[in-house]
Amino acid sequence: MFFDCFMIKCIWAIEMNIDEINIASLAYLGDSVYELEIRNHLLANSKAKVNDLKNESIKYVSAVSQAGILDRLIENGIISYDELSLVKRARNYRPNSKPRYTDIKLYKKATALEALFGYLYLSNNTNRIKQLIKEIFGD
């Protein structure tokens, strides 16, 4: 996995309290962390062609998929109390723009999942990221 061999420290995040970073920034970073982990998992567990892998990844990275994944993680008690607090804060965040391909409720849930991954990444909690990815894939 990516985090086993390479970890970048964000200078701006080190200089401030992670809890003070706004949700949009956490989600922006978390989007890339989440997608990278999804791609890594698919590559590590499939011999499919890249186009097939791309189509498979859409099942996990679209806003609709992310919203459903977040609901499942919450319903199954996978999300901790502290993580749930962040997720709720992120769901209540008011974006400056309207989503193009989904409704606002699903968009906010997807943003919450991305913010969680961004938070975990900045907290250097790579083990938790791996646990969540395993849960998402049912490993």
> Active-site residue numbers?
31
Q: Which long-range contacts (CB under 8 A, 24 or more apart) does 75-84 make?
A: 76/135, 78/132, 78/135, 79/116, 83/116
64 vs 8: CA distance, rounded Å = 29
CA pair distance 49, 23, nearest whole angstrom: 35
Q: What is the DSSP letter of 18?
A: G
- Closest CA relative to residue 61, chosen from 40, 77, 80: 40
Phi, psi dihedrals of residue 15, rounded to the nearest 5°: -80, -5
